[in-house]
Amino acid sequence: MTPILSIQQLTAGIEEREILKGIDLVVNPGEVHAIMGPNGSGKSTLASVLAGREDYTVTGGSVTFMGKDLLEMAPEERAREGMFLAFQYPIEIPGVSTANFIKTAVGELRKHRGHDPLEPAAFLALMREKMKLVEMDSSFLNRSLNEGFSGGEKKRNEIFQMAMLEPTLAVLDETDSGLDIDALRIVAHGVNALRSPTNATVVITHYQRLLDYIVPDVVHVLWNGRIVRSGDKSLALELEKRGYDWIKNEAAVEA
Amino acid sequence: MNSEQSILDDVVGSEYKYGFTTDIEQELLPPGLNEDVVRFISAKKEEPEWMLEWRLKAFRQWQSMQEPVWPNVSYPKIDFQDIIYWAAPKKKDGPASLDEVDPELLATFEKLGIPLEEQKVLAGVAVDVVLDSVSVKTTFQDKLKELGIIFCPISEALRDHPELVRQYIGSVVPPSDNFYAALNSAVFSDGSFVYIPKGVRCPIELSTYFRINARNTGQFERTLIIADAGSYVSYLEGCTAPQRDENQLHAAVVELVAHERAEIKYSTVQNWFPGDKDGNGGIYNFVTKRGICEGAHSKISWTQVETGSAITWKYPSVVLKGDHSIGEFYSVAVTNNKQQADTGTKMLHVGKHTRSRIVSKGISAGVSQNSYRGLVKVLKVAEGARNFSQCDSLLIGDACGAHTFPYLEIANATATVEHEATTSKIGEDILFYCNQRGIDTESAVALIVNGYAREVLNQLPMEFAVEAQKLLAISLEGSVG
Ligand SMILES: Nc1ncnc2c1ncn2[C@@H]1O[C@H](COP(=O)(O)OP(=O)(O)OP(=O)(O)O)[C@@H](O)[C@H]1O
Ligand SMILES: [Mg+2]
């Protein structure tokens, strides 16, 4: 089985400062991986580097996505190849409706795959269906993307877009933060509904609570730019109980 | 050619004296401006005596005026004696149909991609093309004639409807208005004339494509539109120009008159050569556009999409004289590379309960400078006037500039004036977000810009809105990353 994502000894940073200090991670089809870790440990940086953000310079290592060299690709190519990042802080685009934005994105994806654009009526129906999945009112489609959306609505909108784009690999960066209990359940339900044996999900989170809903196959702890521990679901429970200090100490001893 | 030659001889003495040259395609005067040039142009157009006098008076006024220095633009000094003031396609007797038009000329149109033929005709647009100053072709004349609508080159109107022209020309923009208006009044070569009779709703969009084609030739069109009581007209002006490397001056004058309950909608898509990346070449566009809402309940609406020219200096304005009259200004002005634009509007409230609405969307990219300059003036007598202004700026990249200069002069305490302004930026965060959804940077800019400009684009007739949308994307190509 070829992995969906294979990261080897990845190092990256900004200017003089190294933030990722040698990441190894393999994600296979059908799997859910959770990445946890203290603030500032490099979780969002890892997500950004995978998505191709130019602020970060990759200084070493390799990333293979669906058998292709991911680091060679422009950010939009990565997206069209099936990489999706749900942003920790989704931005607002004034003047561009959510519908028009996602229509453009889906259009690019279909073009990349050699498919014709969807008929407007079919597309509208699809949007409505996916909006329902995250329990958003379809009136959001006519509003400017994320403009004036509440924090929770922005996060749901990320999952809506994910549902429309059906990525092979979805990286969710703290999609659960700022969600109330109901919204958390809704978002988790959306993510679970999109799971299949051919795609995979990486969830970055601080709370084991989310993992009650989206059950991970593997839990990783990222600290100081490295994955210092991996385990099954019980690792998350243990972290919840004991915090990060014991892991930091162990890692420090090993280093 | 005999009558032409004899007039020439009468007025300017001899061909030799003025170095009048004729090549295969053009009649050109040598560069320079003096009273004889004004006389020559007037004679060329076989104008009545009063028109010549009017031009000469304007010329004398111009001589005593100074080029304005207040706009927020800079350019090398223009030598007005180094400009050619007359260039016309060789004229046989006026062509009655396309078949009679010089094939060379048609080929030029083809190259410019003017959709003169079927497309526009099918779209219900009558086209009055100005190529190097002389109107060559007018379609749909007959249909318009049935309704009593006059839509023709202004030179023709001077011949066929001299009283109308005499009554209105210079009544909205007097020659003394400003330096460029005076210059235009002295040397205008041609332009469009529109008259809509009482109670008539013009059934088609009247459209003129202006083209600049001759080397080093200043362009001085003059447009005059009169909507009589209770009438309606929508007029479209669109421009493109072939690439060239010398700066070209363009100083047009547009005058609109709306009588009681009449409505004039004037839309412009302006896409003259903006100069290359380093700012070489490109058109200098110094235009005076003004309309007067003469009668009660009349309405004038300006919509402009400005993407071209090296320098744009343009303030379509409305004088709200009639009670309850309405003035509107919708503008998208794009500057990229080294373009400079200083544009905006003036709304002058004179009548009671007059209303004005200003929606200005500036977009700057590259190292360009984009200024909005607006004046809302409410006179003491203008009881109950209202204005709403929205001035937005969108910046693409870090090296460009956006400036707004809103002026308010309110002399009546019952006036309601609202002003809103925003500045936003297409920053890396937005672009990366779009990229992450599979939308490349160029498409992302187009998507955002079109969204940003929608309120203005919506004011344009359908076909034009689509063209304008494409134009926005094209003019911003390569503006980021
Ligand atoms: N563009 C940047 N410029 C400067 N420093 C950066 C930049 N991006 C990340 N960093 C730094 O790198 C470190 C890792 O940041 P990152 O956002 O990846 O952490 P995180 O694990 O996602 O934290 P959190 O749990 O708070 O979201 C932090 O110290 C952060 O300040
Ligand atoms: Mg983070």
Strands (E) located in B350-400: 355-364, 369-378, 386-396
Does B133 have pLDDT greater than 50?
no
Mean pLDDT of A165-188: 91
Per-residue pLDDT tens over the stretch A189-207: 988 999 999 999 999 998 8
Question: Does the distance separating the beta carbons of B428 and A55 come in below 8 Å?
Answer: yes
Query: 3-state class of B43 per DSSP?
Result: helix
B438: nearest CB among A55, A80, A91 = A80
Higher pLDDT among residues B233 and B245, named by residue: B233
Question: Can you spell out the DSSP letters for A162-227?
Answer: HHHH--SEEEEESTTTT--HHHHHHHHHHHHHH--TT-EEEEE-S-HHHHHHS--SEEEEEETTEE
Q: How far is the CA of B285 from the centre of ligand 2 (A)?
A: 50
What number does the ligand 1 atom closest to the CA of A46 have? 18
Higher pLDDT among residues B144 and B19, named by residue: B144
The predicted structure's pLDDT at residue B458: 87
The predicted structure's pLDDT at residue B478: 67
B437: nearest CB among A55, A74, A105 = A105
Q: Which of B163-167, B209-213, B440-444, B451-455 has the lowest mean pLDDT?
A: B209-213
Q: Chain B: residue nearest A47 by CA?
A: B436
Q: How confident is the model at residue B247 (pLDDT cuts 50, 70, 90)?
A: low
Q: How far is the CA of B395 from the centre of ligand 1 (A)?
A: 27
Q: Which residues of A touch B443 (CB under 8 A)?
A: 104, 108
Q: How many CB pairs under 8 A join A and B?
A: 72
The predicted structure's pLDDT at residue A221: 94
What lines the ligand 1 site, CB under 6 Å?
A 14, 19, 37, 39-45, 55
Q: Which residues of A touch B433 (CB under 8 A)?
A: 87, 90-91, 93
Mean pLDDT of B186-199: 91
The predicted structure's pLDDT at residue B52: 94
% of chain B at pLDDT higher than 90: 39
Q: Chain B: residue nearest A112 by CA?
A: B438
Q: What is the ipTM of this complex?
A: 0.96
Higher pLDDT among residues B309 and B371, named by residue: B371
Tokens describing residue B138: 């007018």
% of chain B at pLDDT higher than 70: 76
Q: How do strand A68-69 and strand A57-65 relate by DSSP bridges?
A: antiparallel
Per-residue pLDDT tens over the stretch B336-391: 878 787 888 999 999 999 999 999 999 888 888 888 889 999 999 999 999 999 99
Q: Which of B359, B361, B436 to mutate to test the interface with A (most CBs of A within 10 A)?
A: B436
Q: Average pLDDT of chain B? A: 79
Backbone angles phi, psi at B300, to 5 degrees: -130, 130
The predicted structure's pLDDT at residue B44: 82
Mean pLDDT of B430-436: 95
Provide the 10 A C-beta neighbour count for residue B158: 23
Write the CB contacts of B15 (distance below 8 Å, at least 6 apart in sequence): B8, B9
Using alpha carbons, select from B475, B464, B469 the residue that is nearest to residue B268.
Answer: B464
Question: Does the distance separating the beta carbons of B452 and A79 come in below 8 Å?
Answer: no
Question: Does the distance separating the beta carbons of A94 and B451 come in below 8 Å?
Answer: yes
Per-residue pLDDT tens over the stretch A90-104: 999 988 999 999 999
Tokens describing residue B438: 């599979």
**Contact B432/A at CB under 8 A:** yes
The predicted structure's pLDDT at residue B135: 43
The answer to whether B157 touches B150, Cβ cutoff 8 Å, is yes
The predicted structure's pLDDT at residue B322: 97
The predicted structure's pLDDT at residue B299: 98
Q: Which of A93, A106, A164, A173 to mutate to test the interface with B (most CBs of B within 10 A)?
A: A93
The predicted structure's pLDDT at residue B1: 35
B437: nearest CB among A52, A144, A161 = A161
The predicted structure's pLDDT at residue A255: 62
Mean pLDDT of A134-143: 91
Q: How far is the CA of A39 from the centre of ligand 1 (A)?
A: 8
The type of residue at B86 is W
The predicted structure's pLDDT at residue A56: 94
Q: Which residues of B touch A80 (CB under 8 A)?
A: 438
The type of residue at B261 is R
The predicted structure's pLDDT at residue B119: 33
Higher pLDDT among residues A255 and A5, named by residue: A5
* Burial of A167: CB neighbours in 10 Å, binned 0-12, 13-18, 19+: buried
B432: nearest CB among A53, A101, A104 = A53
Mean pLDDT of B146-161: 89
Q: Which of B45-59, B63-77, B115-129, B178-192 has the lowest mean pLDDT?
A: B115-129
Per-residue pLDDT tens over the stretch A3-62: 999 999 999 999 889 999 999 999 999 999 999 999 999 999 999 999 999 999 999 999
The predicted structure's pLDDT at residue B100: 55
Mean pLDDT of B312-320: 90
**Contact B420/A at CB under 8 A:** no
For residue B192, CA distances in Å to A238, B197, B243, B382 come to 82, 16, 25, 33
Using alpha carbons, select from B410, B328, B337, B400 the residue that is nearest to residue B371.
Answer: B400
Per-residue pLDDT tens over the stretch A218-253: 999 999 999 999 999 999 888 888 888 888 888 777
Per-residue pLDDT tens over the stretch B74-121: 777 888 888 878 776 544 344 455 555 555 545 544 544 545 443 333
Mean pLDDT of B311-316: 85
Q: Which of B396, B431, B434, B448 to mutate to test the interface with A (most CBs of A within 10 A)?
A: B434
Surrounding residues of ion ligand 2, Cβ less than 5 A: A 43-44, 88
Does B409 have pLDDT greater than 70?
yes
The residue whose CA has the least distance to atom 30 of ligand 1 is A40
